[in-house]
Amino acid sequence: MSSTNDNDTKPRILVVDDSRVMRRAVTKILGNDYDVVEAEHGEDAWTLLTNDETIQVVFSDLSMPYLDGYGLLAKVRGAEDERLQEIPVIIITGKEDDEAAKTEALAKGATDFITKPFDSVQLLARAKAHVHFEQTSRKLSKTTATLELEAAIDNVTGLGTKLYFTKSANENLAYAKRHGHRLILVRMEVDNFNALFIKNGKDAANAVLERVGRILAETIRQEDKAARIGLASFSCLLQSTMLEGAQRLAERLRHRIASEEFVHGEHHMHTTVSIGLAEPALRHDTSVDEMLQAAETNLAKAMNAGGNQVVADAPAAEAPSAAEQRAHPEPDLEAALALLEEGRQDELAPFAPSLVHRVAPLLTYLANHAKGEFEKLLKALGAADKG
């Protein structure tokens, strides 16, 4: 078989390094199993990547002229082409690259690291693992049904993805607005995950994420929604739950993760999580983004306070307690009108805020479609208030 045909059957790897000696060393080690393409700096690498769809994995140095490894990462992860956004990029680090450099590379989208000087076994193992992952991803992307599954399930934790969570959250929010149900959004972040990744490696870090995801799934109820929405970021949507109960759940989750020993091979690791909870008022224009922002504000407070904490909004003073809610279930609109007709207004007081949110869509509709009558009602309410 000719070399050309042989290269056509080999997975293609791009090596980016301004050192010709280093490029030649990588090519020598990988050349028997892979078709190795070389680039001297990030600009050449970017040209190759945008014009050659067969490149499956990139090994890149950080310090290079014209466009360094950080710049190449930024271009790749910011590309419009989804193939480039997802391509594995393994950063080659040397003694001059400290932990801060690795942290920055990870933040910019590095898939993994390999440290110089590396041996042939280590380099071949990294190449094999990431080529296999990229090939599997390409095969999956050819099937629409598989694409939908891939879009819904995170392959590390088994939880939902960000796309799945956004879709489910919008559906649950619409239902809660119609029926006056409570919704609490939880945001959770693994504390100091980048440092854990750099110290223990990608496989060990993923093992931590997988276990954290399993603990999360075991802690919440079956009807609640959980997803991994970022590198070490998780979200949950708790339905028909009082804020006090959600805080207790979050504390159980925080304590269990802090007490867990995460073991992967020779690595024995411990970590903690920061958690933010929010229960925004459900107006007709409340959005999932608004709910996420409220929870992320409390998450930031927990992280800024040192991590391993739960921060939640203070419960509304007028909200009924859990015991009151069990003893006196919230009435629907017809039951509320019946209580008013019977002169039992006091029984509605604990549920007044929720009833306001439930009738808001109806009032908006009446304001638009029965403007005259609606304005008369507002005047009558104003007169009653002054009286």
CATH label of the domain that carries residue 79: 3.40.50.2300
Q: Is residue 271 part of a domain?
A: yes
Please say if the pLDDT value at position 283 is more than 50. Answer: yes
Same domain, 270 and 345: no
| pLDDT for 148 | 53
Question: Mean per-residue pLDDT for 200-222?
Answer: 94
Distance, in Å, from the CA atom of 151 to the CA atom of 227, rounded to the nearest integer, reads 12
Q: What is the largest CA-CA distance in the chain?
A: 98
Residue 148 structure tokens: 């939908």
Is there a single domain that holds both residue 96 and residue 224?
Answer: no
Average pLDDT for 106-130: 85
Residue 267 in contact with residue 213, Cβ under 8 Å? no
Q: Which two tokens stand for residue 89?
A: 């990029």
Q: Are 107 and 194 in contact (CB under 8 A)?
A: yes
- Please name every residue paired with 16 in a beta bridge, in sequence order, or none if there are none: 39, 60
Q: Which of 167-176, 237-246, 361-370 has the lowest mean pLDDT?
A: 361-370
**Could you give the angle at the alpha carbon of 223 between the alpha carbons of 217 and 228, nearest 5°?**
40
Residue 156 lies in a domain: no
Give the pairing type, strands 225-228 and 233-239: antiparallel
Q: Give the burial string for 65-77 (b: 16+ CB within 10 Å, else e).
A: eebbbbbbbebbe
> Cα torsion at 211, 213, 216, 221 (round to 10°)?
-120
User: Does the pLDDT at position 141 exceed 60?
Assistant: no
Position 356 confidence tier, pLDDT thresholds 50, 70, 90: low
Residues 201 and 256 in one domain: yes
Last residue of a domain, one of 312, 342, 364: 312
Q: Which residue range(s) make up the domain with 94?
A: 3-141
Cβ atoms of 359 and 333 within 8 Å: the answer is: yes
Side chain identity at residue 34, one-letter code: Y
Position 155 in a domain = no
> Above 50 in pLDDT, residue 316?
no
The proportion of the chain whose per-residue pLDDT surpasses 70, expressed as a percent, equals 84
In-domain check, residue 154: no
Q: Which of 74, 108, 141 is the last residue of a domain?
A: 141
Residues 220 and 302 in one domain: yes
Residue with tokens 């799934």: 217
Confidence category of residue 383, pLDDT binned at 50, 70, 90: low
Phi-psi region of 306 (alpha: psi -120 to 50; beta: other; left: phi over 0): left
- Give the model's confidence band at 143: pLDDT under 50 very low, under 70 low, under 90 confident, else very high: low
pLDDT at 197: 95
- Both 119 and 64 in one domain: the answer is yes
Residues 306 and 328 placed together within one structural domain of the fold: no
Do residues 302 and 309 lie in contact, with contact meaning Cβ atoms separated by under 8 Å? Answer: yes
* Same-domain check for residues 167 and 305: yes
Residue 9 domain-assigned (yes or no)? yes
First-to-last C-alpha distance (Å) of the chain: 98
What is the pLDDT confidence band of residue 317, given thresholds at 50, 70 and 90?
very low
User: For residue 155, what are the contacts with CB-CB under 8 A and spacing of at least 6?
Assistant: none
Q: Are residues 129 and 84 in the same domain?
A: yes
Any idea what the CATH number is for the domain that residue 260 is in? 3.30.70.270
pLDDT higher than 90, residue 362: no
Tokens of 113: 């690291």
Domain boundary pick from 312, 341, 367 = 312
* Residue in this structure with the two tokens 């609490």, named with its chain if needed: 184
Q: How many domains does the chain fold into?
A: 3
Q: HSE, CB side, 13 Å, CA atoms: give it for residue 55.
A: 27
Top-ranked range on mean pLDDT: pick from 171-180, 304-313, 372-381: 304-313
Q: How far apart are CA 72 and CA 328, in angstroms?
A: 61
Q: Do 88 and 228 have their domain in common?
A: no
